[in-house]
A and B are shown apart, each in its own frame.
Chain A
Amino acid sequence: MRLYLELAKKSFQNNIVYRADYFASLINAIVLIFVNIAIWKAINEEEGALGGLQLNILITYIVISFLMQTVYQMDEYFIEGKVRTGLISTDLLKPFYFRLFVFSYNVGSMVFKFIMQFIPAMLLSVFLFRLLPPFNTQMLLYFILSAILGYLVLYNINFIVWISSFWFYWTFSLVTIKDAAVMILSGALIPIWFMPTWLIDFIELTPFNAIFYTPILIYLGMMPEDEIFMSIVKQILWIIALFGIGHILWKRATKKLVVQGG
């Protein structure tokens, strides 16, 4: 366990190295939030089409969503790079679990983003966009739990895409498709409640709404208390299922491994 903690720490350090990149992504997060809020405000003024929803709830939704996306941003080409350069062989030659290594690496940079980007951007948002506080303390705790589970759902989806690089070597297109699916189906861009019923029914069958939508609804207090338990169970089930798929793929990948440049 100590090892993976150290790995996460090193990954955290690794993130500090590039100062320009740090400020750029902080600014990027703020600008994205600002632009999205401006769009929703315009829609609200032109159409009054927010279904009677208070604008500040919607703004809070957008802010939380984008802040979460910033934190959940992962290094999509970490495994692919290792497969293509053959560096994967050096990692497989170490007496550790490669998958835990990758996970620690991502958790390290997630913690970095949480402390160095989420918190400052959150504080700025409170002033700039009048972000609403969580519905109540209980919901805040549920939100934290659900957000962590959401991260794990996304992580396991990502892992499946990353691991496909063992077969495809280039995963840019797959990653792009996955990103688009996550963006739309998870409610990261547009709250799912605005979507047509048939699409909502479809989304219910996918793991995507377990990433952002569930925790944000809990934060806003928009999910009835008796549904919260079920949503969290659903998140856990998705994590198990996706992990299972990733596990099978991983076993196959290591079996068929052809180290590039050998």
Chain B
Amino acid sequence: MALIEVDDLVKEYQLNVRHKGLLGSIRSLLIPEYTKKVAVDSISFSIEKGETVGFIGPNGAGKSTTVKMLTGILTPTSGTITVGGLSPYKDRKKNASRIGVVFGQRTQLWWDLPVADTFDLLKYIYKIPDNVFRENMELFSDILGLQEFMKQPVRQLSLGQKMRADIGAALLHNPEIIFFDEPTIGLDVVAKEQIREFVRTVNRERGTTMLFTTHDMLDIEKTCKRMIIIDHGKKIYDGTVEEIKDKYGRSRVLRVEFSEYIADVQLPGAEMIKEEGNKKWFEFQKDQTQVSRLINTLSQKYGIVDITVQEPEIEGVIREIYQGGIDLNETLSGVS
């Protein structure tokens, strides 16, 4: 059986309807009205041990709700979830000792105390054996650079430092599954890369199963093999990141820097989309035009200083999917 099994999961919320204006708000206070909102609409999937899965979808798509049900803090309206053979919301505490959760937007560290104190406390909370604790502390200090600020109160840390400490805190007890809820939100490029590298290392060396929800497609591209796209509470795609990129990312951009300014470049099979000084950008479809032929043509006619081929970013593909520009229902194997 898979490590995580989700079957026909539904979560409905009761929302308080608030009316506009002063009279309206008084009315809402006296006669509360409710509407039902289906946040998660019969989603099913299963995840094997050691997988890295990215949950993506626009804001309010139901990603966080799904993850919260997986961690056991929300009770599903209907459907079943098993995580390692347990029902997360019925065995919340048992489930909790086997999972780690990182929230990019809030910290689980004790605000006024040094980072080291929170780590100490976690040692007791998860009953971590001394040798495991020491090993992990060394590893985290190495890769995450925690030792620089272990003795500083958390409130004095920068966002990046806090995030690194939080990730360390979530992984201290060697959880089998880790949930990352927007782990790199608000971080700079270097900090993001450091965190992704750490995540990859842990996944490779320990075989930890990891689930991400993020809006940063680069996070997904660099850490996840599999991607589940959720929109309006429904699963619309479940498959590899590669496949979706192959399928919809067929166009390539060829960036060429010429040795001198050339007013008009003729390049059959490609279209110029941008121009800047001596540099020009050409777009072509990789299944229609071979890149070697384009380069050949160019180098025979003109003097070339530099040439690069750019792949489309997954972000562009996803943007189109959200906006309905790409209809997933055609041929993709992952579409449900």
**Chain A interface (Cβ within 8 Å of chain B)?**
2-3, 6-7, 10, 13-14, 17-18, 85-87, 89-90, 92-97, 255, 257-259, 261-262
State A92–B101 Cα separation when bound (angstroms).
11
Least CB distance, A166 to chain B, in whole angstroms:
13
Q: Say if the beta carbon of B247 comes within 8 Å of chain A.
A: no
Least CB distance, B36 to chain A, in whole angstroms:
14
Q: Say if the beta carbon of B295 comes within 8 Å of chain A.
A: no
Verify B103–A90 contact, CB threshold 8 A.
Answer: yes
Least CB distance, A22 to chain B, in whole angstroms:
13
Least CB distance, A103 to chain B, in whole angstroms:
15
Specify the main secondary structure of chain B where it touches its partner: mixed
Within 8 A of A (CB), among B74-118: 74-75, 92-94, 96-97, 99, 101, 103, 105-106, 108, 110, 112-113, 117
| Residue in A6, A96, A259 whose CB lies within 8 Å of B73 | A259
Q: Say if the beta carbon of B125 comes within 8 Å of chain A.
A: yes
Count of inter-chain pairs, beta carbons less than 8 A: 70
State A14–B113 Cα separation when bound (angstroms).
6
State A259–B13 Cα separation when bound (angstroms).
11
Q: What residues on B are CB-neighbors of A87 within 8 Å?
A: 106, 108
- Across the interface, name the chain B residue whose C-beta is closest to A18: B112
Say whether, besides A93-B101, A262-B64, A14 and B112 are in contact (CB < 8 Å). yes
Least CB distance, A43 to chain B, in whole angstroms:
43
What would be 17 A-B contacts, judged by CB atoms less than 8 Å apart? A3-B125, A6-B120, A6-B121, A7-B124, A10-B120, A13-B113, A87-B108, A89-B71, A89-B73, A90-B101, A95-B96, A258-B74, A259-B68, A259-B74, A261-B105, A262-B65, A262-B74
Least CB distance, A230 to chain B, in whole angstroms:
39
Q: What residues on B are CB-neighbors of A90 within 8 Å?
A: 101, 103, 106, 108
State A7–B113 Cα separation when bound (angstroms).
12
Q: What residues on B are CB-neighbors of A262 within 8 Å?
A: 64-65, 68, 74
Within 8 A of A (CB), among B253-271: none
Least CB distance, B16 to chain A, in whole angstroms:
11
State A93–B125 Cα separation when bound (angstroms).
11
State A257–B71 Cα separation when bound (angstroms).
13
Least CB distance, B220 to chain A, in whole angstroms:
21
Q: Say if the beta carbon of B126 comes within 8 Å of chain A.
A: yes
| Residue in B101, B108, B112 whose CB lies within 8 Å of A17 | B112
Say whether, besides A6-B121, A90-B108, A96-B125, A17 and B113 are in contact (CB < 8 Å). yes
Q: What residues on A are CB-neighbors of B312 within 8 Å?
A: none
Q: What residues on B are CB-neighbors of A258 within 8 Å?
A: 13, 74
Q: What residues on B are CB-neighbors of A3 within 8 Å?
A: 124-125, 127
Least CB distance, A222 to chain B, in whole angstroms:
42
- Across the interface, name the chain B residue whose C-beta is closest to A4: B124
Chain B interface: which size bin? 20 to 34
Pairs A-B, 9 closest by C-beta atoms: A95-B97, A3-B124, A90-B108, A95-B96, A17-B112, A6-B124, A95-B93, A89-B73, A262-B64
Q: What residues on B are CB-neighbors of A6 within 8 Å?
A: 120-121, 124
Q: What residues on A are CB-neighbors of B125 within 8 Å?
A: 3, 94-96
- Across the interface, name the chain B residue whose C-beta is closest to A6: B124
State A94–B123 Cα separation when bound (angstroms).
12
- Across the interface, name the chain A residue whose C-beta is closest to B179: A93
State A134–B71 Cα separation when bound (angstroms).
53
Q: What residues on B are CB-neighbors of A86 within 8 Å?
A: 106
Q: Say if the beta carbon of B239 comes within 8 Å of chain A.
A: no
Q: What residues on A are CB-neighbors of B73 within 8 Å?
A: 89, 92-93, 257, 259
Q: What residues on A are CB-neighbors of B65 within 8 Å?
A: 262
Q: Say if the beta carbon of B153 comes within 8 Å of chain A.
A: yes
Least CB distance, A75 to chain B, in whole angstroms:
12
Least CB distance, A88 to chain B, in whole angstroms:
8
Least CB distance, B123 to chain A, in whole angstroms:
8
Q: What residues on B are CB-neighbors of A13 within 8 Å?
A: 113, 117
Least CB distance, B88 to chain A, in whole angstroms:
10
- Across the interface, name the chain B residue whose C-beta is closest to A255: B75
| Residue in A18, A85, A94, A257 whose CB lies within 8 Å of B96 | A94
Q: What residues on B are CB-neighbors of A10 within 8 Å?
A: 110, 113, 117, 120-121
Given contacts A92-B92, A95-B93, 12 further A-B contacts (CB under 8 A): A2-B124, A13-B117, A14-B112, A89-B71, A90-B108, A92-B96, A93-B96, A93-B99, A94-B125, A95-B125, A258-B74, A259-B74
